Structure 1
Amino acid sequence: MDRFDAHLILSWIEKNLSGTDNPRRHGKGLTANRTGEWRYRVGSYRILAQIYDDVLLIEIFAIGHRRAVYGP
């Protein structure tokens, strides 16, 4: 990932996820073996996250290009 894409993703996170009351508004819930996980689309990149409602915490555990981020 180059610096431009990294800056774009960080800006998107700060604008859309930081301080939000509803982190699911911009994402999509995953299914099958990834139930409970959420994805966010930022251009060709995906942010994979787990949302904890009891403390309103968004744990981002993967950021990568869409063709590689879902792999093993």
Structure 2
Amino acid sequence: MVMYEIEFTPEAKDDLKTLRKFEQHTIIAGIETHLTYEPTVETRNRKRLRPNDVAEWELRLGKYRIFYNVEEHILIVSIEAVGFKVGNLLFIRGKRREL
């Protein structure tokens, strides 16, 4: 099975820093579990998004949303943003977003 390398953009690192330590650990563990292998296979918690300016894919971990792109030819998953949902509202970097 092919293993992907996971990289965080500076913006995604900033997103993580705004969260509490245990939330950061939960998110990083979820990313490693769900995106290290087959990050482009749709599952219950992983889906391809409609075209937008954030990322092509979304991983759902409870209330958290991890937005990422995959570079298949070099086996890299690039974490673009980390946000969270409150009801039907999505927040990324403290601002409400529509995707």
Same fold (TM over 0.5): yes
Which 4+ runs in 1 deviate beyond 3 A?
Answer: none
- Larger of the two Rg values belongs to structure: 2
Counterpart for residue 73 of structure 2: 54
1:23 and 2:23 are equivalent in the alignment: no
Counting matched residue pairs gives 70
TM-score, scaled relative to structure 2:
0.60
User: Alpha-carbon deviation of 1:17?
Assistant: 1.7
Counterpart for residue 39 of structure 1: 58
TM-score, scaled relative to structure 1:
0.78
- Pairwise CA RMSD: 2.3
- How far apart are the structure 2 equivalents of 1:23 and 1:33? 18
* Gaps in structure 2 of 5+ consecutive residues: 1-18
Cα distance per residue 1:25-65 (max 9 Å; x no partner): 3420110435x610000110100001111112110010121
